[in-house]
C-alpha cells in the first residue's frame, strides 16, 4: 500500500481519559471503534483511501473487538454490506469516494433506505469536490435528498468529527434511516486532538453471534407492496424523528456575535474557511469567536425548520454558504422563511460563486459583497469590502513578483509500465491510422495528457469497453478500450466484457495488469499476487476471460514495445470476429520500487551483491530530434546543451531519477530511431567475477583507445 499506518493505529487502543492526537481520517476510525461497530468495509478513492488503509492496518485491533472488515470489490458491494443493519441491531460503516462511488452504490442505497435500518448504518463519503478534485463535479446531497438518508457535514476539527460519527449512529437508530457523513480532503488530513473513550464491542459481533434470523417480516424487504408503506414511513415518521433528534442532541451549533441584524448559515465542513475569511477582515479571531452570528450546519440534510427560523428571526439578511451546485440548502431556507413569514433576505449564490470550491479568496469576496448588500448596523461595510478586495488584489501582485511557474500536469510515474503501451499505440497508429480510444479511470488516464493525448471519452470506472459498444459498428477501424485491472474487477468484467461477448462485439480491449488498484495507493485487488493477509484467492484475469469465452487473447509484457505494437496491429487487422483482448502485463513501478528498495537494503546489509540498471544517451550520437522524448514521455528523459559546439540543438539526456525500466531504449528500437541509448548496470558489493570483468573491459577499451593498458583497480 501507498502508506502504512501501522504505527499510528496504536492510537486506536487509547481509552477513557487519554488524549488522541493525529489526522482526521484516523480519528474517524477511532470514533467507529468507540461507537461499537460490528462491521466496516469500503472501496478506496481519494480523499478516503487512507480510511480503508487505516482499517486494514488496524485489523488485529478490530479482531479483538469482533469487528468484521471487508475490502469490497466496488462501492455497490460496500453499500450492500449495510443490509446487515436492516434486520439486526448491528452498527456498521462503509466508505468510498463521492460522487462517483455513490453513483455506483446508488441501487443498493435506495434498497437500503426504503426498508430502513434497526442498527446504525453509516456511509463515510470522501467528498471530492473543488480544487484538486479528480472526478466530475457533482454533489452527494442529491442522494441524501432523493433517498431520505441524512447527510452530516461536520465542522473540520477532530472533536466535531468524532462527535458526529458517534451521534450519527444514534441518529440512524433513532430515525431508522441510514446516515451519510461527508469529509472533504482538508477534513481528512486536518490534525488535532480529542479526549478518547474506551472502544466498545458491538451488541452483536464476531465475538457474540446471532443465534439465527429474526421472525420473517415482509416489511424489511424493498419489494412491493411494502415499498408504498416505506415511502410514507420515510416522510411521516423517519424525517420528523430525525429532526427531533438533531434538535434535541444539538447537532448544529450557534456561534453568537454582536452584529445581530445579519447572520451566516454555513455547511459544517466550511466553517473554518468562513471563520478565516471573517478573521482576515477583523470580524473574527483565530479561536473561532465571530462578530457576525453563525449557524453551523453539522447536519445539512435534513434541515430543522425551527432552527432556521429561530436563527433568522429579527435579522435583515443572512448569507448561506453552500458550496457547489444546485443550491439545495439556500432554496430550502428561502422556502422555510416564507412559510414562517419571516422577512430576512437570503443571499448565497450571487455574492458567492455559483460553482466551484469556496476557497479563502472566494469566501472573502462573497463576504464583502454580502456586507455591502446587507449594510449591517454598526459596521462600515464599504471599508470592510475595500479591505477584503485589497487582500485579494495582493495575491496576483505576489504571483507577478514571483514570475511564471512552470506548469506541472499530472503524468505517469517514472518507469510506469503503462507508458510503453501508449508509446506502442502511437507507433501502431502511425502505420494504421488513428482510431477511437475509449479511456477509463485509473493511472492509464494520464495518457490523455501530452505527449500521448490518447483518449476520446471517459464514462466511468471500468466502463471503457461498454462505452465503445456503439462506436464499434460505426467506425471503420476497431476502437480500442483501455481498462486497468482495478477497473476490470470493479465493473469492467460484467459491464464491459460480459456485455460485449453477449452482443458479439468486435472491438479491442487492453487490460493494464499492474497488480494493484494503483491510482488510489496500490491496494490489493482479486488478481494481486499477494493479499492483505498473505495467501491470494488465486483469481487470474487471463483464465477468467478464457472461461468466459474470449478466444483472441494475448498477454504481452508492457516494456516490450515491439511485441506490443505487433499484438496491437494483429488485433486491429485480424479477420477474426469477436472481442480481442491484450493483457498488458507489468507491475506498478511505484509499488515495485518500494518493494525492491526494501529488499535491496536488506541485501546490502548482509553484504550481498545488488545491481541496478540505468539508461543513458551517448551525446556524440544523439542528433537532437527528440523523437524518443515525444514517444516515451518519461520525465527522466530530458534535454541538455549539445557538447558539440557546431550543433545548436540540445541533445537528449537521462537524469538521476531513471529507474532503468528500459522503455526509452525499447522505443528507440521499435521506432527505429537511433543507436544513442545504452544500458549500464550499477553493481554494489561486486563479486570476484564483476571485478575480473571490470579489469578486462578497461584493458580492452584502453587497448582499443591506444593506451598502455595500465588501469586503476
Ligand atoms: S502508480 Fe504505478 S501504475 Fe500508476 S502511474 Fe505510477 S507506476 Fe504507473
Ligand atoms: S530514462 Fe528510459 S530507462 Fe530511465 S526510467 Fe525513463 S524510460 Fe525508463
Strand partners, 179: 122, 150
pLDDT of residue 709: 52
Q: Per-residue pLDDT averaged across 540-568, rounded?
A: 97
**For the purposes of burial, counting CB atoms within 10 Å of the CB of 650, is it exposed (0-12), middle (13-18) or buried (19 or more)?**
middle
Q: Per-residue pLDDT averaged across 37-50, rounded?
A: 91
Task: Locate 576 and state its grid cell.
Answer: 477474426
Q: Please say if the pLDDT value at position 246 is more than 50.
A: yes
Distance from residue 599's CA to the centre of ligand 2 (Å): 21
Q: Per-residue pLDDT averaged across 113-138, rounded?
A: 94
**Before 444, cis peptide (omega within 30)?**
no
Distance CA 545, CA 501 (A): 10
Q: Please say if the pLDDT value at position 65 is more than 90.
A: yes
pTM, two decimal places: 0.93
Q: Please say if the pLDDT value at position 250 is more than 90.
A: yes
* Residue nearest to ligand 1 atom 8, measured at CA: 416
Q: Please say if the pLDDT value at position 707 is more than 90.
A: no
Distance CA 670, CA 436 (A): 23
Q: How many CB atoms lie under 10 A from the CB of residue 288?
A: 17
Strand partners, 25: none
Of 557, 592, 554, the C-alpha closest to 414 is 592
Secondary structure class of 556 (helix, strand, coil): strand
Atom of ligand 1 nearest to the CA of 446: 5
Distance from residue 46's CA to the centre of ligand 2 (Å): 28
pLDDT of residue 710: 59
Q: What is the mean pLDDT of the chain?
A: 94
Distance from residue 633's CA to the centre of ligand 2 (Å): 9
pLDDT of residue 713: 46
Task: Say which residues have a Cβ less than 8 Å from residue 455's Cβ, sequence separation at least 6.
Answer: 437, 438, 439, 445, 447, 448, 482
Distance from residue 669's CA to the centre of ligand 2 (Å): 14
DSSP structure string for 558-590: TT-HHHHHHHHHHHHH-S--S-EEEEEE---HH
636 lines ligand 2 (CB under 6 A): yes
558 lines ligand 2 (CB under 6 A): no
Atom of ligand 1 nearest to the CA of 412: 5
* Residue nearest to ligand 1 atom 5, measured at CA: 412
Atom of ligand 1 nearest to the CA of 417: 8
Contact 156, 186 (CB under 8 A): yes
Reported as a single tens digit per residue, the pLDDT across 141-167 is 999 999 999 999 999 999 999 999 999
Distance CA 267, CA 210 (A): 40
* Residue nearest to ligand 1 atom 6, measured at CA: 413
pLDDT of residue 3: 59
Reported as a single tens digit per residue, the pLDDT across 574-626 is 999 999 999 999 999 999 999 999 999 999 999 999 999 999 999 889 988 88
Distance from residue 559's CA to the centre of ligand 1 (Å): 14
User: How far is the first Cα of the chain from the last one, in angstroms, to the nearest whole number?
Assistant: 43
Q: Please say if the pLDDT value at position 24 is more than 80.
A: yes
Task: Locate 464 and state its grid cell.
Answer: 471503457
pLDDT of residue 708: 61
Q: Please say if the pLDDT value at position 274 is more than 80.
A: yes
Q: Please say if the pLDDT value at position 213 is more than 70.
A: yes
Of all residues in the chain, what percent carry a pLDDT higher than 70? 98
Distance from residue 590's CA to the centre of ligand 1 (Å): 6
Distance from residue 589's CA to the centre of ligand 1 (Å): 6
Reported as a single tens digit per residue, the pLDDT across 645-659 is 888 889 999 999 999
Reported as a single tens digit per residue, the pLDDT across 332-368 is 999 999 999 999 999 999 999 999 999 999 999 999 9
Distance CA 493, CA 500 (A): 10
Q: Please say if the pLDDT value at position 535 is more than 80.
A: no
423 lines ligand 2 (CB under 6 A): no
Amino acid at each position: 500500500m501507498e502508506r502504512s499506518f501501522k504505527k499510528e493505529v496504536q492510537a486506536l487502543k487509547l481509552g477513557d481519559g487519554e488524549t488522541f492526537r493525529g489526522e482526521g481520517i484516523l480519528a474517524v476510525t477511532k470514533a467507529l471503534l468507540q461507537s461499537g461497530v460490528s462491521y466496516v468495509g469500503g472501496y478506496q478513492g481519494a480523499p478516503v483511501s487512507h480510511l480503508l488503509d487505516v482499517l486494514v492496518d488496524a485489523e488485529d485491533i478490530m479482531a479483538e473487538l469482533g469487528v468484521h472488515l471487508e475490502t469490497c470489490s466496488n462501492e455497490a458491494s460496500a453499500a450492500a454490506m449495510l443490509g446487515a443493519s436492516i434486520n439486526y441491531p448491528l452498527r456498521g460503516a462503509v466508505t468510498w469516494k463521492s460522487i462517483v462511488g455513490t453513483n455506483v452504490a446508488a441501487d443498493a442505497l435506495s434498497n437500503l433506505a426504503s426498508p430502513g435500518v434497526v442498527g446504525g448504518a453509516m456511509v463515510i463519503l470522501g467528498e471530492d469536490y473543488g480544487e484538486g478534485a479528480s472526478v466530475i463535479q457533482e454533489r452527494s446531497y442529491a442522494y441524501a435528498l432523493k433517498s431520505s438518508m441524512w447527510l452530516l457535514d461536520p465542522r473540520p476539527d477532530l472533536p466535531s468529527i468524532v462527535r458526529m460519527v458517534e451521534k450519527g449512529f444514534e441518529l440512524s437508530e433513532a430515525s431508522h434511516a441510514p446516515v451519510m457523513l461527508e469529509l472533504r480532503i482538508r477534513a481528512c488530513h486536518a490534525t488535532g486532538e480529542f479526549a478518547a473513550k474506551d472502544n466498545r464491542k458491538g451488541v452483536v459481533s464476531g465475538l457474540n453471534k446471532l443465534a439465527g434470523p429474526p421472525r420473517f417480516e415482509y416489511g424489511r424487504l424493498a419489494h412491493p407492496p411494502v415499498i408504498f408503506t416505506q415511502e410514507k414511513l420515510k416522510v411521516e415518521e423517519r424525517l420528523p424523528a430525525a429532526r427531533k433528534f438533531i434538535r434535541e442532541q444539538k447537532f448544529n451549533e450557534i456561534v453568537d456575535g454582536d452584529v445581530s441584524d445579519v447572520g451566516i448559515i454555513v455547511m459544517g465542513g466550511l466553517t473554518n474557511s468562513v471563520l478565516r475569511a471573517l478573521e482576515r477582515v477583523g470580524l473574527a479571531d483565530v479561536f473561532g469567536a465571530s462578530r457576525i452570528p453563525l449557524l453551523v450546519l453539522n447536519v445539512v440534510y435534513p434541515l430543522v425548520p425551527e432552527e432556521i427560523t429561530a436563527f433568522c428571526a429579527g435579522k435583515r439578511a443572512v448569507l448561506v454558504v453552500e458550496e457547489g451546485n444546485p443550491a439545495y440548502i439556500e432554496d430550502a431556507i428561502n422556502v422555510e422563511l416564507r412559510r414562517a413569514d419571516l422577512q430576512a433576505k437570503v443571499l448565497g449564490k450571487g455574492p458567492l460563486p455559483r460553482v466551484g470550491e469556496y476557497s479563502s479568496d472566494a469566501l472573502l469576496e462573497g463576504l464583502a459583497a454580502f456586507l455591502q448588500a446587507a449594510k449591517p448596523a454598526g459596521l462600515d461595510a464599504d471599508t470592510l469590502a475595500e479591505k477584503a478586495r485589497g487582500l485579494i488584489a495582493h495575491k496576483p501582485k505576489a504571483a507577478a513578483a514571483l514570475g511564471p511557474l512552470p506548469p506541472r500536469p499530472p503524468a505517469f510515474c517514472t518507469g510506469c509500465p503503462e507508458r510503453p503501451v501508449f508509446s506502442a499505440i502511437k507507433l501502431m497508429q502511425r502505420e494504421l491510422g488513428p482510431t477511437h480510444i475509449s479511456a477509463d479511470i485509473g493511472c492509464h488516464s494520464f495518457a490523455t495528457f501530452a505527449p500521448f493525448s490518447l483518449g476520446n471519452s471517459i464514462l466511468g470506472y471500468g466502463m471503457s469497453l461498454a462505452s465503445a459498444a456503439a462506436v464499434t459498428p460505426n467506425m471503420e477501424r476497431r476502437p480500442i478500450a483501455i481498462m486497468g485491472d482495478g477497473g476490470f474487477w470493479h465493473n469492467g468484467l460484467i459491464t464491459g466484457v460480459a456485455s460485449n461477448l453477449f452482443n458479439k462485439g468486435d472491438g479491442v480491449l487492453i487490460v493494464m495488469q499492474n497488480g494493484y488498484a494503483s491510482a488510489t495507493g496500490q491496494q490489493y485487488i482479486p488478481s494481486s499476487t499477494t493479499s492483505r493477509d498473505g495467501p491470494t484467492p488465486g483469481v487470474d484475469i487471463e483464465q477468467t476471460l478464457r472461461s468466459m469465452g474470449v478466444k483472441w487473447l494475448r498477454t504481452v509484457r508492457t516494456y516490450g514495445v515491439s511485441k506490443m505494437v505487433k499484438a496491437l496491429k494483429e488485433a486491429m487487422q485480424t479477420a477474426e470476429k469477436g472481442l480481442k483482448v491484450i493483457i498488458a502485463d507489468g507491475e506498478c513501478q511505484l509499488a515495485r520500487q518500494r518493494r525492491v528498495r526494501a529488499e535491496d537494503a536488506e541485501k546490502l546489509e548482509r553484504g550481498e551483491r545488488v545491481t541496478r540498471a540505468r539508461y543513458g544517451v551517448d551525446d556524440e550520437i544523439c542528433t537532437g530530434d527528440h523523437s524518443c522524448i515525444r514517444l516515451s514521455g518519461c520525465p527522466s528523459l530530458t534535454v541538455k546543451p549539445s557538447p558539440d559546439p557546431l550543433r545548436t540543438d540540445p541533445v537528449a539526456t537521462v537524469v538521476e531519477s531513471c529507474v532503468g525500466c528500459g522503455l526509452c531504449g525499447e522505443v528507440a528500437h521499435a521506432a527505429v530511431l537511433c543507436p544513442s541509448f545504452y544500458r549500464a548496470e550499477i553493481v554494489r558489493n561486486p563479486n570476484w567475477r564483476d571485478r575480473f570483468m571490470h579489469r578486462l573491459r578497461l584493458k580492452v577499451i584502453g587497448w582499443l583507445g591506444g593506451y598502455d593498458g595500465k588501469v586503476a583497480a
